[in-house]
Structure 1
């Protein structure tokens, strides 16, 4: 106690200059400020693995007195989008923690809330170019102090994805990577590449689409474009306007939450190159032959193994599906059936997998399937749970027939191939008679043929 009082007295008389302990935080505005409009101001907040909870504001002009900013490390810069209410994005803190947990990574949050916060979306779009000029000027300062442009990764959400694209263009496409999370569509759909994100803006550009019919961009923007659930309506998002704000933003925001799950490694989103979502659902694109010898692309942070092949291939579209809730993982099987019927049958198929008392079900009902005599039919079955080992399979053939004779469907062979699980056995069964709208169950056995 005496020593503490002595130190206090010395400080009072000699003048103590303690180190600044406060953390710098993201600009928090209210709706009134957004309604009145804000003038552009860009704030750069640094986080590292040593300080993931405490941001340190970086100077735009002087990097010589920034001991926490190690320019020999990789740098991830997070760029938010349009902020109509002025409130900070709810996802920024979580993303900072996950990015800072990567090996030797600086995380810089680009806070351009003053400029993005405006009830007038047109004004925010106009400010995006100036925000990009500010960011590119800072990156040039980083380069002057020894940073490599190829070690910089820009992660942009919505309007922020196009800001990242403008930054990349200003730096002649030498930025290492740009990740666009559902890039904004309004005022950008249909414009030339110079006025939006495009593959020439970085050495590697990957894009995720989750709301392309409303707030997101419709067409391909990167070296690889991932389309979650087709890129439009996301499972679990409201279908009615009576759900309020969530009805408008849920699909758009899902892009961020999928990226967070991928960062957290709670789910591996393996995607399949395909020309359309319909072809993907039909099971026509369940291998990654166009990218061989590279593995199938996986949406998320780690792109090693397939990035270079994708860049060489040109623009690639890849599709994957998710569940309605976090961690959004789907368990997928390729289903191959050979039917034997004198007459053509039409219908949809419902599959159930059983493991002990656990059961998971999927309806392959995106379109009515045509089953013909001695014809191989391929489908994609996706389940909300990954059950292993599978002890029983139930199958139901559903038609629109309500009255009249009961139609039957004879399956000579049915095979389930687990996707993304090369060490698991293929599941087969032979010669099953299905009566329409009636469930039949069987125990799978190892397949006799190497494939069909």
Structure 2
């Protein structure tokens, strides 16, 4: 009996320590669960810099159970979408690691895999409202313990974007920020604002569209909406059904990957306001004057730097293009070509920039460009990387039809102007391009004459 009196407190302490150190993981289900169907269960996995690789399972009612969950810190909720096979999202671990590297915060991964896993998509849609109600109650308890809605950021992917919107609406739009990554389109497209995400759901709502012709939402939903590659076919994603699951989810999933690139500051992708993607590709939308000295907004984590001006503009629709893999950002140059051929020429240009032992390539082929004598043809060249400084430039002209006679393009002047950096344009005068033959030259700073 005497020994037991001493051992009991020790055993209880050991149990408490082990419980406190228990690591919880995202629910991993299978296709069989999806076929049977799952009932909603919301699990909140907390990560902080103290427990960056070992999630604590938060209690919905006892917020003081985990001392790492500090209300004085900002809190980011990561909310996934529909899970037709039950597997965890491939991006979920990386995004919380990047967020914690970026800032001292609470990262709460919202695991509603039980509820999102179902071959019947409609059931998952129904569960979005229930999940939002659950999270709303939790955030209100956070407020009771001193948390500020200003410091809450919700990152919602697909259905998770609309869940974020429902939570924001429940909290009267006082949540600090909602980032919506390719919000789900099916079953939401025709709904009024109260049935989906909309700009009134948070103090600031930024949205990325990557799959508007299939799983994503086509129209604008936030204070600023970014359309990567027009919001449809993402570079590097399969184009045929023979690629299996990747054909259906690659464009949609790309939204999370693009956002993660911005959290770790891999590079910047600026969104250019424009009425259509085709006009953007034509180079008609490079004016960023409305945003002041900061220029056009940079997509992603740091877009809040443009928050004040974007709120005044109400809803802004922007476009940018990406590479097929990280780093996804591209570099834009405005290109002006003046020829001295007597006849009109139609065709495509490939431009390469060389410097520091590497090169960047831009293929301007979204449509055939028209070149007229003594008239500037304005083009947008989007390079796969940024070259500083540019030592040499290569050009190639093609008409895209091997059956037609070969033509020459006699360039009186070509001028390349970096869209973002305030630097002197690069020029070259008197260049003869033979079709499909690349020439390389040293550019010179442009003179004052605009002839």
TM alignment of 1:28-427, pairs within 5 A? 28-355=28-355, 358-400=358-400, 402=402, 406-422=406-422, 424-427=423-426
**Residue 66 of structure 1: CA displacement?**
3.2
| 1:323-346 CA-partner distances (Å, limit 9, x unpaired) | 111222323211112233332221
Q: SS where residue 100 of structure 1 aligns? A: helix
Aligned counterpart in structure 2 of residue 17 of structure 1, from 13, 35, 49: 13
- Cα distance in 2 for partners of 1:285, 1:13 equals 71
Report how many residues are paired: 445
CA distance in 1, matches of 2:298, 2:4: 58
Specify the SS of the correspondent of 1:255: helix
Distance 1:66 1:450, change over 3 A: farther
SS at match of 1:101: helix
Q: 1:16 to 1:150 in 2, by over 3 A?
A: closer
Contact 1:355–1:389 (CA under 8 A) maintained in structure 2: yes
Matched residues in 2 for 1:13 and 1:140: separation? 36
Mean Cα displacement is larger for which, 396-405 or 233-242?
A: 396-405
- In structure 1, the residue matched to 2:436 is 437
TM-align CA RMSD: 2.2
Cα distance in structure 1, aligned partners of 2:6 and 2:88:
42
Task: Give the stretch that moved more between structures: 392-401 or 124-133.
Answer: 392-401
Work out whether residues 238 and 250 of structure 1, in 8 Å CA contact, stay in contact via their aligned partners in 2.
yes
SS in 1 for 2:167: helix
| Range with bigger deviation, 331-340 or 274-283 | 331-340
Alpha-carbon displacement from aligned partner over 1:23-73 (angstroms, at most 9, x marks no partner): 122122222222111111111111111111111111212223332111111
| Bigger mean CA deviation after superposition, 403-412 or 95-104 | 403-412
Find the aligned partners of 1:180 and 1:103 in 2 and give their Cα distance. 20
SS in 2 for 1:292: helix
- Stretch of structure 1 that moved more, 152-161 or 405-414: 405-414
Contact 1:45 1:55 survives alignment (8 Å):
yes
Task: Measure the CA separation in 1 of the matches of 2:278 and 2:6.
Answer: 76
Q: Mind listing any 5+ residue stretches in structure 1 that lack a counterpart?
A: 1-6
Residues in 1 aligned to 2:179 and 2:349: alpha-carbon distance in whole angstroms: 37
Deviation at 1:98, TM superposition (A): 1.1
Cα contact 1:179–1:206 (8 A) shared by 2:
yes
**Farther off after superposition, 173-182 or 379-388:** 379-388
Give CA-to-partner distance per residue, 1:256-286, whole Å, 9 cap, x none: 1111111111121222111111111111112
Change (3 A) 1:102 1:402: closer
Q: 2-side partners of 1:286 and 1:162: how far apart?
A: 32
* Counterpart in the other structure of 1:428: 427
Q: Matched residues in 2 for 1:272 and 1:450: separation?
A: 28
Deviation at 1:387, TM superposition (A): 2.9
Give a deviation string over 1:343-375, Cα, whole Å, max 9, x none. Answer: 222111121223365343322010111112221
- In the superposition, the TM-score normalised over structure 2's length comes to 0.93
Do 1:294 and 1:309's aligned partners in 2 also have CA atoms closer than 8 Å?
A: no
Tell me: CA distance 1:304–1:204, structure 2 relative to 1, closer, same or farther (3 Å).
closer
SS in 2 for 1:305: helix
Question: Structure 2: which 5+ runs fail to align?
Answer: none
Partners of 1:283 and 1:334 within 8 A in 2 = yes
Q: Deviations over 1:143-171 (max 9, x none)?
A: 11111111100000011001111111111
